[in-house]
Amino acid sequence: MQCLAVLLSLLVVALCSAGHDTGQLSNSSRSFAEYTDQSLLWAPYRSNCYFGIRPRNVDQSPFMMGVMWFDNSDASGLSRMRHFVDQGDRLTKYGWEVYDPRVGGKEVIIDEENNLNLTLYFTKSHSGENWAVRVHGQPIDFTRGTVASIVLYFNQNGEDGESKLVKLPELGDGSTKFHGVSKELGEYQITVEDNKGSYFSDPNLSTMEIVPGCDSSKPTHISLTIPDSNVWMAKDVFLSILSDSVKKIVEEKGAEAVNPSLFPSTFTVRNLYGFPPGNFHYLQKSFDNSDPEGFEFDIVYNKLNAQEKILSAQKVTALIVETLKHVESKFDRLFEIEPKNGKHHEFALETLSNLLGGIGYFHGTQLVDRTTIFDDEQFEEIKLLNSREEGPLSLFTSVPSRAAFPRGFYWDEGFHLLQIMEYDFDLAFVIISSWFELIEDDSGWIAREIILGDEARNKVPEEFRIQNPNIANPPTLLLAFSEMLERAIKSQEDSAMAFEKDDVMMQDETNQLEFNSNLLVEYARKIYPKLLKHYNWFKDSQRGLFEEYEEMLNEEGILEKAHEDEVYVWRGRTISHCLPSGMDDYPRPQPPDVAELNVDALAWVGVMTRSMKRIAHVLGLEEDEKHYQNWENNVIENLDLLHWNEAQGCYCDLTIDSFEDARTFVCHEGYISLLPFALKLIPRDSAHLDRIVSLMADPERIFSDYGLLSLSRKDEYFGTSENYWRGPVWMNINYLCLDALKYYYPEVLSAKEGTFSPEKQVAQKLFKDLKSNLINNVFKNWEEKGYCYESYDQHTGEGKGVEHFTGWTALVVNLMGRK
């Protein structure tokens, strides 16, 4: 019971710490909250940037920074300026090789077009309140004669009159210093100091200053005021100012402006319009990129009243070494991937690091349309035209892809947490608690995409920016929470387990709440009402029409066995797409009908119910627990009674044949038909198990050398139209299926081949081959192209969709070596 208490208590502690409500915390609670706030305060939490820092839970006056770069040796370089992560940049590589948001890591960017190999190290003081960034650059080809122009920008947000950021006078030591004041963060100093490298200068010219303020042979700084809500437009503002400056130089200098040696100076920003000093600052450094040794400089943030300051390059180096060693050793303690210096180990560490490196902190308003009325009898695309800004809200979350989806996705996040919890159990709870904070107090709704503020909104196609309370997504957060509770239940059954763990693990500050049980009394009950409202919202908003089937079920003699309150449909589907289900173009009943019932919607309700049952058990809410147990049983019974098609041998959607006025199964073998199995809702003694395993193992239907196909090869829709969920291999559902195989066949998977019946041997071989195929194919794509992908081609295994998709595809790390 104690281990279960830990899990819930952690969740609520995180909720309280997220709002800084520590006034009533006990000493043990305060210890966890303080460690969480300190270790997770600073990180590159601007997921959409190649590198951008902001603090977590500092909303009114956060300090913001970003790194941009381009080759300013010729005019075409402006079109290759990098800021936001973009697949169109065609970088050879970008991403974290080693990373943990609590301590920092190493990001590598290889930009062939700009002839730049850029490595960025992020590290923190042990207290977590100060940090340093080391920027190290080298030419890919030093003979190309390029110039690496690095543009830093800093902004002290806060329109309160107290917050400010000013550049300090030069002291002649080659460093650039800023003094800042934040109402929430206090006073601090930013120091930018070179370690090595030369700024671009032509020794044949007497001066590199083409006009006052434009001189590539030294750093250039300008200060101005940009509204807090527009800081994300730093690149646009920079390019606008620079373009105007270049035009002015050409007008004034004529032919002299096209001297190649002066191009770097020409493309140096200046305060052309005499802006008065403000809280926003650009600092541009143009390095000679013909030196094979490259350049290096440090950006250091020190809080003025901090006890542990970062005061030298040697200290930065020491912290970087310690940071990288810490992450690598922790990874090796938690994941068993041999050899340690092998490519598979490198791949796994890098993939997990990029999932963690996508964690961001978002704050701002969201667009919500609460007035558009859904017509359940129409299945055309619903236009949400009545949006209003609501909030501001905050969210701490990982993201599916920094390039394409740098925002919170409800459907994806539960899968992310299944991976994150294996590395940092407490971090996973802090993230899930941030999501639970967004449950609306009155309705229980959470938006399917959390798009907060203009910076996040900028990366979203306009048609997806507006959210609506009628539209749901698979409740994977409850799936992740259920898995966390499952781990605790297992510990409860073996009370000695916690004491047998390694002493280092027991003392790991990132797993405090897995082993401390004294927080339940203070906090456990706080989260339950929110989750209950969310549970009821999901069921009410997606409830299907049972009455349409009553007469038919009565004729079949099964009406009395069916449970009328446990039938569900995805609201908001169109003729061709069912976006709420998460599997957008997966085939559904055609034509759509108001009476349609979706098997996956029912299965996800089963997951939510099971999770709520476990929470009620932890809280000692016996009556609630009985209700959830009854509802879970009803879901399971309806899955078999209403959605199982014996002739087809799989679970199917339902609709009504308008001509024969009969209940009709709409069966498309693939992920939807597997979900009741994948979500462990089928009884362990079910007669259906062998047929489901046979389907998964069949190479003529959905088994492949790359993983389970999303749709059977024999289906009429296989590989057609958009072909998004109509064949390609997706890691998230494959992972669930492998996990379900372990659940249903635990004794088989660990036994020698040939020990069990032929049916169970099929499951044994399927698990072994499927796991191997998934790992090998994702690794092969990474080794050849440097990235994980959104999905994988059903014919070739080649990565498809978004590259650098280290959201749920990162689950491959769990498959490779979870201890």
CATH number reported for the structural domain that contains residue 397 in this entry = 1.50.10.10
Is residue 92 within 8 Å of 140, Cβ to Cβ? no
CB-neighbour burial class of residue 481 (10 A; exposed 0-12, middle 13-18, buried 19+): buried
* Distance in angstroms (rounded) separating the CA atoms of residues 54 and 50: 13
Please report the pLDDT score of residue 524 as a whole number: 55
Please report whether residue 251 resides in a domain: yes
Instruction: Return the structure tokens found at 563.
Output: 């449970």
Please report whether residue 298 resides in a domain: yes
* Distance in angstroms (rounded) separating the CA atoms of residues 587 and 218: 61
* Distance in angstroms (rounded) separating the CA atoms of residues 294 and 148: 10
- Who's near 487: CB < 8 A, 6+ residues apart? none
CB-neighbour burial class of residue 81 (10 A; exposed 0-12, middle 13-18, buried 19+): buried
Instruction: Return the structure tokens found at 43.
Output: 């990180």
Q: What is the pTM of this model?
A: 0.94
| Residue in 670, 374, 526 with CA at minimum distance from that of residue 8 | 526
Please report whether residue 177 resides in a domain: yes
Please report whether residue 268 resides in a domain: yes
- 540-585 confidence digits (pLDDT tens): 999 999 999 999 999 999 999 999 999 999 999 999 999 999 999 9
* Distance in angstroms (rounded) separating the CA atoms of residues 767 and 748: 10
141 shares a domain with 112: yes
Dump strand ranges (E) for 168-225. 176-182, 186-196, 209-211, 214-215, 220-224
77 shares a domain with 26: no
CB-neighbour burial class of residue 818 (10 A; exposed 0-12, middle 13-18, buried 19+): middle
277 shares a domain with 186: yes
Is residue 344 within 8 Å of 816, Cβ to Cβ? yes
* Distance in angstroms (rounded) separating the CA atoms of residues 265 and 730: 49
420 shares a domain with 274: no
262 shares a domain with 388: no
Exposure of 567 in the CB half-sphere (CA atoms within 13 A): 20
* Distance in angstroms (rounded) separating the CA atoms of residues 458 and 733: 30
431 shares a domain with 329: no
* Distance in angstroms (rounded) separating the CA atoms of residues 44 and 65: 9
66 shares a domain with 190: yes
Any idea what the CATH number is for the domain that residue 115 is in?
2.70.98.110
Please report the pLDDT score of residue 620 as a whole number: 85
Please report whether residue 310 resides in a domain: yes
Instruction: Return the structure tokens found at 260.
Output: 């190649």
Please report the pLDDT score of residue 75 as a whole number: 87
Please report the pLDDT score of residue 13 as a whole number: 40
Burial code (b: 16+ CB inside 10 Å, e: under 16) for 761-776 equals ebbbebbeebbebbbe
Please report whether residue 267 resides in a domain: yes
Is residue 742 within 8 Å of 679, Cβ to Cβ? no
Q: What angle do CA 750, 752, 754 make, to 5 degrees?
A: 125
Please report whether residue 553 resides in a domain: no
* Distance in angstroms (rounded) separating the CA atoms of residues 397 and 337: 27
269 shares a domain with 317: yes
Is residue 60 within 8 Å of 530, Cβ to Cβ? no
267 shares a domain with 144: yes
Determine the structural domain holding residue 340 and report its residue range.
48-346
Of 328, 556, 584, 690, which residue is the catalytic one?
584
Of 215, 437, 790, 793, which residue is the catalytic one?
790
- Count of domains forming the chain: 2
Instruction: Return the structure tokens found at 562.
Output: 């069916």
Q: How far is CA 240 from CA 153, 244, 249, 273, 508, in A?
A: 15, 6, 14, 12, 49
Exposure of 368 in the CB half-sphere (CA atoms within 13 A): 20
Asked about 790 being catalytic, the answer comes back as: yes
Is residue 491 within 8 Å of 497, Cβ to Cβ? yes
Q: Which of 454, 483, 518 is the last residue of a domain?
A: 518
**Length of the chain in residues, anyone?**
819
Q: What angle do CA 541, 419, 652 make, to 5 degrees?
A: 40
448 shares a domain with 338: no
Please report whether residue 690 resides in a domain: no
Instruction: Return the structure tokens found at 261.
Output: 């040696």
Instruction: Return the structure tokens found at 711.
Output: 């749709």
Residue in this structure with the two tokens 């908001």, named with its chain if needed: 572
Q: pLDDT under 50 in the chain at which residues? A: 1-26, 495-507, 517-518, 520-523
CB-neighbour burial class of residue 472 (10 A; exposed 0-12, middle 13-18, buried 19+): buried
Would you tell me how many other CB atoms lie within 10 Å of the CB of residue 395?
24
Asked about 209 being catalytic, the answer comes back as: no
Is residue 94 within 8 Å of 804, Cβ to Cβ? yes
Q: Which of 287, 312, 346 is the last residue of a domain?
A: 346
What are phi and psi for residue 93, nearest 5 degrees? Answer: -160, 145
| Residue in 68, 458, 88 with CA at minimum distance from that of residue 242 | 68
Please report the pLDDT score of residue 429 as a whole number: 86
317 shares a domain with 287: yes
Please report the pLDDT score of residue 329 as a whole number: 96
DSSP SS3 for 325: helix
Please report the pLDDT score of residue 206 as a whole number: 93
The CA-to-CA distance between both ends of the chain, in Å, stands at: 24
- Who's near 224: CB < 8 A, 6+ residues apart? 271, 275, 276, 277, 278, 280
Q: Which of 346, 374, 394 is the last residue of a domain?
A: 346
Sheet with 131-139, side-by-side order of all strands: 93-100, 104-111, 116-124, 131-139, 295-303, 186-196, 176-182, 164-167
Q: How far is CA 116 from CA 83, 93, 192, 314, in A?
A: 14, 11, 20, 25
Instruction: Return the structure tokens found at 710.
Output: 């999303």
* Distance in angstroms (rounded) separating the CA atoms of residues 215 and 212: 8
Residue in this structure with the two tokens 């770097």, named with its chain if needed: 264
406 shares a domain with 379: yes
Instruction: Return the structure tokens found at 647.
Output: 């002739």
- Who's near 753: CB < 8 A, 6+ residues apart? 761, 764, 765
